[in-house]
Amino acid sequence: MRTRFLLGCHQPGWLRTAGVPLFISDTRLRDYRNLPRAIAPWALDSGGFTQLQQHGRWTIPAGDYIARVRRYRDEIGQLDWAAPQDWMAEPIIRTGGRLGTQRFAGTGLTVAEHQRRTVRNFVELRDRAPDLPFIPVIQGHTKRDYLACVEMYERAGIDLATERLVGVGSVCRRQATTDVHTIIEALHQKGLTRLHGYGVKTNGLRRYGHLLHSADSMAWSYSARREGRTTCGSTRHSSCANCLTYALRWRSRVLQQLGPAQSVPNEIRSAA
């Protein structure tokens, strides 16, 4: 299987210049009066992590989100798929507190309730806007959780094995672990072979990239911020944390590190 890699991006203007598949959040696009036209396929992140981190709940009505996704599809073009307004299930999201410099409001809800709300939102979005490319997302923490979420979709009348793409959420912070590999394998055994891994970087791709249809990462920006200096040769900025040249070079290095003998590397040659 070839894994398609989406470059995480917080600069909407790159849609008109990058020429590679991008993954951009609604939080970055929603305030644009004039949207850029995309020159390559891209996917939309709903901004759920930010919503739950800051508010402990979704503050955006489904109807408002639907209207914006329809606008992005029509005005930007080449929208491949859009994430639903899902509920991540990481412990820090649910319980709240601090993680590094980030503060989390906490939802105070169980994993099962996060899953129910995720499934309910997807069903609502699809019912209200069948013309838009929303994908279902599986949430959980343990393997048992993820399999239980699959069953919730089944009870809601959604056969995930027949979906064009299914997101696997709440794996970003542990993307390179054996636990995630086990979860992905279990989903494959359930017939879910077209999976998107959120926030899966090089180590995760090496472990189980051959089991993913697509993945995204914005690790390039964190890497540039840690370097704390300009490495792209530009004199216009002091850090490459928002630099397209740096991001594209990082992407190329990721593909080169995976090497031609891997099953992942062919991933994005077709999309580059």
Q: Check pLDDT > 90 for residue 135.
A: yes
Assess contact for 233 and 244: CB atoms under 8 A. no
Longest C-alpha distance within the chain, in Å? 56
Q: Could you read off the pLDDT of 76-109 as tens digits, one per residue?
A: 999 999 999 999 999 999 999 999 899 999 999 9
Calpha distance 179→122 (Å, rounded): 26
Average of pLDDT values for 126-137? 98
Q: Check pLDDT > 90 for residue 255.
A: no
Looking at domain 4-268, its CATH class is alpha beta
**Confidence (pLDDT) at 2:** 53
* Domain locations in the chain as residue ranges: 4-268
Give residues with Cβ within 8 angstroms of 99, minimum separation 6.
92
Assess contact for 79 and 44: CB atoms under 8 A. yes
Give residues with Cβ within 8 angstroms of 67, minimum separation 6.
none
User: What is the reported pTM?
Assistant: 0.91
